[in-house]
Amino acid sequence: MTKLRFLTSGESHGRALTGIIEGLPSGLSLSSKDIDTELKRRQGGYGRGGRMKIESDHAEIISGVVMGKTIGSPISILIENKDWQNWQDIMSVELPESKSEILHPKFSVTRPRPGHADLAGALKYNLKDIRNILERSSARETAMRTALGAVAKSFLSEFEIIIGSFVVGIGSVTSPDAEDKDLLTTFKRAEKSPVRCPDADASKKMVKLIDKAKKAGNSLGGIFEVFATGLPAGLGSHIQWDKRLDAEIAKAMMGIQAIKGVEIGDGFEMACNFGSEALDEIYYKSPVRGAGLAGGFYRKTNHAGGLEGGMTNGMPLIVRAAMKPIPTQSRPLRSVDIINKKVFKAAYERSDICAVPAAAVVGEAMLALVIAGSLLSKFGGDSMDEVKRNYQEYLKQINQF
């Protein structure tokens, strides 16, 4: 059984972010340009902070790819942090004898921010400088997950599986939910919006709300939707709880910084409806030869979001995630200094006002990694030719079901 796994390392203002992804077969076309496109999308969106003006992320593939093709060994990627040099320049002037790995006192933090990993992490690791916690818990780390997700997207595209996202709401402003919306068309509209919302009127209101929050020294969260089209029925499993694809997806989404809720399909709304309103009736039409993703079985509705019993059912996969407001406020909330225990305003770190559009791109990356892993688990092979043969044989099997 082929297993896809990945790791990231690095701190927000460290020298670089690094990542390793293992389990991809040989023969997959891959270039830094493919990854950089996704990194640029992550850096966009109205409401981002000053860091985005400093960084222009570029992925350097340092192993696992030869002459533009994967070779089956682990792929390692490096993304340099340009802001790191700025910190080194400050330290070299103010503390000439300091080493780069020793933190300048100017950057030390002792006042935890409500809603952040600051206090819990400092207590857990017995560290008196919160900087050591916030540097790794920062959403800067998601740049590498976006890069690794881009690799997974390249793999999935070989099977005509497309992953996209768009923003459903920011703060109190929500986008109208169009009935029977075409996901790919909706996605294309969202890509033209400064907040990645497909509805033009809602986009304008979201921008105004972000401006209002910025003026007030506040921050905003919201909801985004991630989807996948072209998935065959049968990815995932009902056999054990941890093999259910919905469980893997929920874990992946909740692992994104600031995500506090996840639903698949109509999710929480289904709990308020009768079964006749929430369940997707099954129909059948003889599939076009070699093209049926569910052997001719289909649904006219998709309340389940493409997953039933922990497995894909051939319908588009729909996932929504709720992002809380960013913990850093330019008008900080009350906190307590961990050294002297006195009441202070929480520390302020350069931050975004709203990062929901960027979080949606990270959500795409995480969904791509989960689906790529599930596809490899079912159709695994050591080369792209082998995986594709296995995949085509499975489609033939379900079309003859």
Q: Which of 1, 386, 387, 396 is nearest to 161 (CA)?
A: 387
Across 233-245, b (16+ Cβ under 10 Å) vs e yields bbbbbeeeeeebb
**Which option is the CATH number for 5-399: 3.40.50.970, 3.60.150.10, 3.90.1150.10, 3.10.20.90?**
3.60.150.10
Per-residue three-class SS string for the chain: CCCCEEEEECCCCCCEEEEEEECCCECCECCHHHHHHHHHHHHCCCCCCCHHHHCCCCCEEEECEECCEECCCCEEEEEECHHHHHHHHHHHHHCCCCCCCCCCHHHCCCCCCCCCCHHHHHHHHCCCCCHHHHHHHCHHHHHHHHHHHHHHHHHHHCCCCEEEEEEEEECCEECCCCCCCCHHHHHHHHHCCCCCCCCHHHHHHHHHHHHHHHHCCCCECEEEEEEEECCCCCCECCCCHHHCHHHHHHHHHHCCCCEEEEEECCHHHHHHCCHHHHCCCEEECCCCCCCCCCCCEEECCCCCCCEECCEECCCCEEEEEEECCCCCCCCCCEEECCCCCCEEECCCCCCCCECHHHHHHHHHHHHHHHHHHHHHHHHCCCEHHHHHHHHHHHHHHHHCC
pLDDT of 346 reads 84
Rg (CA), the chain: 23
- Here the tokens at position 165 are 């996202």
Cα Dmax for the chain: 75
Partnered with residue 320 across adjacent β-strands are: 225, 263
pLDDT of 55 reads 65
Closest CA to 334 of 321, 347, 349, 319: 347
pTM summary value: 0.93
Q: Which of 63, 58, 79, 92 is nearest to 15 (CA)?
A: 79
pLDDT, residue 266, reads 95
Contacts of 193 (CB under 8 A, 6+ apart): 167, 200, 203
The pLDDT value recorded for residue 201 is 96
The phi, psi pair for 173, rounded to 5°, reads -95, 125
Q: pLDDT per position in the chain (401 positions), as tens? A: 568 999 999 998 889 999 999 999 999 999 999 999 999 999 988 887 665 556 689 999 999 999 999 999 999 999 999 877 766 665 555 555 544 444 445 678 889 989 899 999 999 999 999 999 999 999 999 999 999 999 999 999 999 999 999 999 999 999 987 555 799 999 999 999 999 999 999 999 999 999 999 999 999 999 999 999 999 999 999 999 999 999 999 999 999 999 999 999 999 999 999 999 999 999 999 876 656 799 999 999 999 999 999 999 999 999 999 999 988 888 888 999 999 999 988 877 777 899 999 999 999 999 999 999 999 999 989 999 999 999 999 999 999 88
pLDDT reported for residue 253: 98
Q: Terminal CA-to-CA distance of the chain, rounded, Å?
A: 24
- Do residues 175 and 169 touch, judged by C-beta distance below 8 A? yes
